């Protein structure tokens, strides 16, 4: 994207051709789109960012803990600062009939990643730390349903997708769109299954490149210098979504439903979101709110290709390594360092044993 408009589209496929209308599952990039819907509820004054979420839900409540559940607000759920320790991560269900109800999933998600409890509960003091929580967005999904009187997919369709003419976007795939669904691949190029989710807001958005280009344009500047919002959200709401609500080592990392990748001029950040799931789906969107430039990448078959491409775009444009690429490189650097230390230890042990043998008198 350049100056808010499509500059170039590139497509590659292993088998079934893809184009701008091919439908992808976008994994956790769903959170970014879902957050716009939640902010729409805030603008409508249906919900308030700082009211305890318990005031909005009747079908399910956070379990009691040693911490005050009344400190869990919509703002903190959107910014992953609500103290939830679920660590979700949803794997989904290969059979649509196996999908849990929303309430059952919040109580204990059967499709949680390995080693994760899958229980949505307050495990640390709300507001005291940043901890990524898929369960928090599943709770936001419930809040949207209870306050709007619609299913989450109906609410998002009527309040965002239909007004923007995003006709290829949905959280529940129907038969009319299924023929345009992309193929899913494992890292070894074998075909992978298509998974279904309870966690619609967190994980389950289906969308096309064409629709995400339209969504991108919500955030770019119009002729008056303000984000145009395409009539869906006010400029001040869009600004709030990308204001830092948590920082690490002095760098802002997350707003309201949006990742903050790197600081740029005018007290702004390149922002957006990434998605990653197993079998490997990787998606990424980066938006420069100052220039209107950006990049959107959708792919299956590689766990981090989209993120690498999008992060490389940020580096080419700014000369800075964004937060996600930094964490990826840091992880690899630590691994290399640990391997190096291990090799040094093995070498020193070998040298010590060799010296010991040289000092031992030969037996006659």
Q: What residue ranges of the chain have pLDDT lower than 50?
A: 326, 330-336, 362-364
Query: Residues 257-314: pLDDT tens digits?
Result: 999 999 998 889 999 999 999 889 999 999 999 999 999 999 999 999 999 999 999 9
pLDDT of residue 248: 83
pLDDT of residue 161: 97
Query: Residues 198-236: pLDDT tens digits?
Result: 999 999 999 999 999 999 999 987 655 655 677 789 989
pLDDT of residue 343: 59
pLDDT of residue 232: 84
pLDDT of residue 251: 84
pLDDT of residue 335: 45
Q: Which tokens in the block code for residue 229?
A: 């919002």
> Cα dist. 102→59, 162, 194 in Å?
9, 24, 20
pLDDT of residue 265: 87
pLDDT of residue 150: 98
> Cα separation of 340 and 16, whole Å?
43
Asked if residue 135 lies in contact with residue 76, where contact means CB atoms within 8 angstroms, the answer is no
> Cα separation of 282 and 296, whole Å?
11
Is residue 297 classed as helix, strand or coil in its secondary structure? strand
Angle, CA of 184, 185 and 187, to the nearest 5° = 150
Q: What is the DSSP string of 247-271?
A: EETTEEEE-SS-EEEEE-STT-EEE
pTM for this predicted structure: 0.89
């Amino acid at each position: 994207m350049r100056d808010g408009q499509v500059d170039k589209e590139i497509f590659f496929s292993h088998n079934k051709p893809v184009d701008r209308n091919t439908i992808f599952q976008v994994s956790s990039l769903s959170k970014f789109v879902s957050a716009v819907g939640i902010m729409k509820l805030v603008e409508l004054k249906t919900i308030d960012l700082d009211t305890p979420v318990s005031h909005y839900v009747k079908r399910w409540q956070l379990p009691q803990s040693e911490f005050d559940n009344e400190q869990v607000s919509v703002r903190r759920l959107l910014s992953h600062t609500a103290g939830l320790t679920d660590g979700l991560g949803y794997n989904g269900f290969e059979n649509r009939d196996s999908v849990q109800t929303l309430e059952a999933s919040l109580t204990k998600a059967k499709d949680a990643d390995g080693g994760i409890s899958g229980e949505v509960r307050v495990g640390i003091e709300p507001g005291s730390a940043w901890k990524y929580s898929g369960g928090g967005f599943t709770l936001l999904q419930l809040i949207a349903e209870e306050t709007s009187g619609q299913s989450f997919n109906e609410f998002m369709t009527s309040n965002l997708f239909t007004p923007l003419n995003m006709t290829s976007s949905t959280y529940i795939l129907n038969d009319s769109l299924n023929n345009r669904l992309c193929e899913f691949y494992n890292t070894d190029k074998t075909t992978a299954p298509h998974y279904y989710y309870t966690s619609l807001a967190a994980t389950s958005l289906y969308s096309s490149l064409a629709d995400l280009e339209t969504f991108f344009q919500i955030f770019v500047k119009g002729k008056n210098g303000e984000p145009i919002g395409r009539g869906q959200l006010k400029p001040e709401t869009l600004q709030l979504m990308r204001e830092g609500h948590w920082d690490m080592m002095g760098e802002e990392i997350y707003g309201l439903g949006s990742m903050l990748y790197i600081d740029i001029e005018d007290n702004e950040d390149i922002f957006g979101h990434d998605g990653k799931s197993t079998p490997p789906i990787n998606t990424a969107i980066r938006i420069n709110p100052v220039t209107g430039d950006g990049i959107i990448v959708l792919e299956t078959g590689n766990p981090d290709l989209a993120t690498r491409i999008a992060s490389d775009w940020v580096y080419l444009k700014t000369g800075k390594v964004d937060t996600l690429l930094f964490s990826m490189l840091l992880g690899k650097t630590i691994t290399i360092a640990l391997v190096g230390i291990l090799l040094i230890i093995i070498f020193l042990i070998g040298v010590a044993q060799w010296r010991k043998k040289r000092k031992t008198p030969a037996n006659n």
